[in-house]
Structure 1
Amino acid sequence: MERKSAAGSIRNKERSKKKFLDAVGEILKTKGYAALKINDIAATAGVDKKMIYTYFGGMDGLMDEYIRSQDYWSKMTPGDTAPNFDDHGRAFAKELLLAQYDYVHKNKEAQKLLLWRLSEPRKSLKKMTDTQEENGEALFKFVADPFFGERAKEYRAIMSILVSGLYYLNMYASLNGSIFCGIDLNTPEGRDTVKKAISFLVDQTYDNLNTKQE
């Protein structure tokens, strides 16, 4: 009986934590980040606000866990997918960028987080940025830097433009309209055109920027 009670307590804790995380997402999507107050989160979750301190250590802990659960790049590490780097990361770079493009397009909460990060400084959002940079740095040092050599910084700059550009296109299509440079970003055809451009740009980078022969 004691073992069953412990298991039930763990399940209840995980359910309650999920309710809080879901409540943060619901408020963020419908009311915006300014409405993320502890009383409103607890009311939306239907769980006593004291449990936010019990499960997360407070609002900062709750926001840290929520952001980790939604941000694409914070969750990506080289060990997650164990890719084959025989091509010096060419295919992996395409895979990551295309997956980011689709992920943010489908995830309205991720879009709101990106807008929030641009709108105000906050410790939890700074942690998201730091985690993204740490994971990206591991990939660059392990894959790109040895291949591109003295032009590795140019490769990083190109990747920064691609990553940020894809963020912007998704948010633009979601919030302000679907047509950008004559491409309807909310149609399968338009999104496929962008995806082909991503692959083209990665290929051009690998074909023309490296200082060594593959």
Structure 2
Amino acid sequence: MTRKKYQGAVNDKERSMQKLIDAVGVIIKTKGYTGLGPTNIAKCAGLNKKLIYLYFGSVENLIEIYVKGKDYWVAATGNAGELMEKNKGKNTKDILEALLVNQLDYFYQEEEMQKIVLWQISERTKIMYDVCEERERLGDKYFELADQELKNSSVDIRAIAGLLVGGIYHMVLHAKSTDSLFCQIDVNQEDGKTRIKTAIKQILNAAYSPDFELGD
């Protein structure tokens, strides 16, 4: 006969901590970052809010543990990480295209990441600053490779990538929150997302073209 595992204070604490951590994710998805108060988190977890301070010291520490445990940007890169590992400073256009297309698909599907990005641009916090820094570090490898390929080019690949990423975020958030068109494109439809992906390819083809020149 299998012996029943002892469920003592340590196990109770671990379960309670995990419930509180999981509750942060539920609140982000359902109420957004503005709902991340101790009362909401504790109620969602079915626990006393005093446990937040007992186990984590503060609400901020609890939220930080949850957010830093989520690899939003790593997951959003898709197969681009594999492409970077194999790359030797050539054909980096394919890497950036994969990064952007994967990010569009992932960001559109992941409501939690949408709420995190809204939080980043709406409120200045240490948690979101650290998340942004982590995102930037993920881009370092690509830019290092792109610099090798584009060293004799006038193209500013960082500015182009920034505009494309920002455009992806804004168009997705706009479509999700208003269910309306943006520049006569419906990102909530597959045809709309396909048009954005085609535009990404066109822009990068132009930027990487040997004939590309910046205007005055």
1:50 and 1:89 map into 2 onto residues whose CA distance is 51
Secondary structure in structure 2 of the residue aligned to 1:42: helix
Residue 176 of structure 1: how far off its partner (Å) = 1.8
**1:90-149 deviation digits (Å, cap 9, x = unpaired):** 2221111111111111112211221122111111011111111222123312x1111111
Aligned to 1:94: 97
Aligned length: 206
Q: CA RMSD in A?
A: 3.4
Whichever structure has more helix as a proportion of its residues is: 1
**Structure 2 residue ranges without an equivalent (≥5):** none
8 Å CA contact 1:71–1:110 kept in 2: the answer is no
Aligned to 1:155: 157
Aligned to 2:36: 36
8 Å CA contact 2:76–2:103 kept in 1: the answer is no
- When Rg is computed on C-alpha atoms for both structures, the one with the higher figure is 2
Aligned to 2:125: 122
1:209 and 1:26 map into 2 onto residues whose CA distance is 50
Amino acid at match of 1:195: K
**Structure 1 residue ranges without an equivalent (≥5):** none
Select 2:179's aligned residue among 177, 180, 186: 177
Aligned to 1:191: 193
1:2-151 superposed matches below 5 A:
13=14, 16-53=16-53, 56-70=56-70, 72-73=72-73, 81-83=81-83, 84-86=86-88, 87-141=90-144, 143-149=145-151, 151=153
Task: Out of 147-156 and 121-130, give the one that drifted further.
Answer: 147-156
Task: Out of 198-207 and 92-101, give the one that drifted further.
Answer: 198-207
Task: Out of 86-95 and 16-25, give the one that drifted further.
Answer: 16-25
**1:169-207 deviation digits (Å, cap 9, x = unpaired):** 100000123311111111111111111211222222222
Residue 43 of structure 1: how far off its partner (Å) = 1.4
Q: Which structure's relative contact order is higher, taking Cα pairs within 8 Å and 6+ residues apart?
A: 1
Residue 32 of structure 1: how far off its partner (Å) = 3.1
- Sequence identity of aligned pairs in percent? 34
Distance verdict in 2 for CA 1:71–1:162, change over 3 Å: farther
Amino acid at match of 2:199: A
Select 1:165's aligned residue among 161, 164, 167: 167
1:90 and 1:190 map into 2 onto residues whose CA distance is 22
8 Å CA contact 2:80–2:95 kept in 1: the answer is no
Aligned to 2:206: 204
1:80 and 1:11 map into 2 onto residues whose CA distance is 41
Under a length normalisation based on structure 1, what TM-score does the superposition of the two structures give?
A: 0.78
Under a length normalisation based on structure 2, what TM-score does the superposition of the two structures give?
A: 0.78
